[in-house]
């Protein structure tokens, strides 16, 4: 008896079932997600993405940053993300609404960037890091992105965005190094990355710092 058709149908059924469970079910679930309206703050989370941030997202994708950096904070017990200061809570599907494509990343050669905007707010820090990562992170293995900057003559007053660099990088007198439009957009995108709002679905895994301190004080009193 030729069992080939039965084997084929069985394999096809297993693949179809797996695809339904892993892909279709998640697509239906996340496809229904919408921004959360906080009645106490009268605000929507996540907020809309400004145009300059969207352009920076495109630069991030174009440079292949996702090859070395992830954007997904794992829950406690699945890594030391919170201990490393990468986020106060795990990432959830609602965090990524409005992002296309989502930059989950491939490897963690560098730190997770999902909340880098909360860790570093100074734009100069990002500019120096892009120009030469070793200027701000000792021993960094990240390559330099100096092509995102231009050297030009100072006309009138120096640009407020001119890089403050050590002597070995300082340009000739009367000249300055400034970020290009791509660099400014990329930094706008990076500073925008901060998932500090606790959605309803994160209540079981996220406690604001003041709540955690209150629990510790209560336990200490017993």
CATH number of the domain enclosing 176: 1.10.760.10
Q: Examine residue 215 and state whether it is found in any structural domain, yes or no.
A: no
Q: Which domain does 60 fall in, by range? A: 45-198
Please check whether residue 200 is in contact with residue 36, taking contact to mean a CB–CB distance below 8 angstroms.
yes
For the stretch 62-98, pLDDT in tens is 999 999 999 999 988 888 998 999 998 999 989 999 8
Mean pLDDT of the region 114-136: 95
Question: pLDDT-based confidence at 215, cuts 50/70/90?
Answer: very low
Q: Examine residue 17 and state whether it is found in any structural domain, yes or no.
A: no
Mean pLDDT of the region 97-104: 90
Judged against a pLDDT cut of 80, whether residue 52 lies above it is answered with yes
pTM confidence score: 0.79
Look at residue 219 in the predicted model and tell me its pLDDT: 38
More confident residue, 220 or 152: 152
Q: Examine residue 208 and state whether it is found in any structural domain, yes or no.
A: no
Look at residue 13 in the predicted model and tell me its pLDDT: 72
Q: Examine residue 96 and state whether it is found in any structural domain, yes or no.
A: yes
Q: Which residues pair with 176 in a beta bridge?
A: 152
For the stretch 134-153, pLDDT in tens is 999 999 999 999 999 999 99
Look at residue 222 in the predicted model and tell me its pLDDT: 38
In this structure, which long-range contacts are made by residues 63-68, counting pairs with CB atoms below 8 Å and at least 24 apart in sequence?
63/145, 63/186, 65/103, 65/113, 66/103, 66/104, 66/105, 66/106, 67/105, 67/106, 67/107, 67/109, 68/105, 68/106, 68/107, 68/108, 68/109, 68/110, 68/142
Q: Examine residue 149 and state whether it is found in any structural domain, yes or no.
A: yes
Q: Examine residue 83 and state whether it is found in any structural domain, yes or no.
A: yes
Q: Examine residue 30 and state whether it is found in any structural domain, yes or no.
A: no
Mean pLDDT of the region 119-148: 95
Q: Examine residue 206 and state whether it is found in any structural domain, yes or no.
A: no
Domain count, the chain: 1
């Amino acid at each position: 008896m030729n069992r080939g058709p039965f084997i084929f149908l069985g394999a096809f059924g297993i693949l179809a079932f797996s695809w339904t469970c892993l892909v279709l079910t998640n697509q239906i679930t996340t496809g229904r997600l919408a921004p959360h309206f906080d009645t106490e703050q009268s605000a929507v989370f996540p907020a809309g993405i400004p145009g300059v941030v969207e352009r920076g997202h495109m630069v991030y994708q174009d440079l292949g940053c996702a090859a070395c950096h992830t954007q997904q904070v794992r829950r406690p017990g699945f890594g030391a993300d919170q201990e490393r200061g990468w986020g106060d809570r795990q990432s959830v599907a609602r965090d990524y609404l409005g992002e296309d494509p989502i930059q989950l990343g491939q490897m963690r050669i560098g730190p997770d960037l999902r909340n880098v905007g909360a860790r570093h707010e100074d734009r100069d820090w990002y500019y120096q890091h892009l120009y030469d990562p070793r200027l701000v992170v000792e021993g960094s293995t990240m390559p330099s992105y100096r092509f995102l900057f231009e050297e030009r003559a100072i006309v009138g007053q120096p640009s407020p965005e001119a890089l403050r660099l050590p002597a070995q990088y300082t340009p000739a007198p009367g000249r300055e190094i400034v970020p290009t439009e791509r660099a400014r957009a990329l930094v706008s995108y990076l500073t925008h990355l901060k998932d500090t709002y606790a959605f309803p679905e994160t209540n079981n895994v996220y406690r604001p710092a003041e709540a955690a301190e209150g629990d510790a004080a209560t336990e200490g009193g017993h």
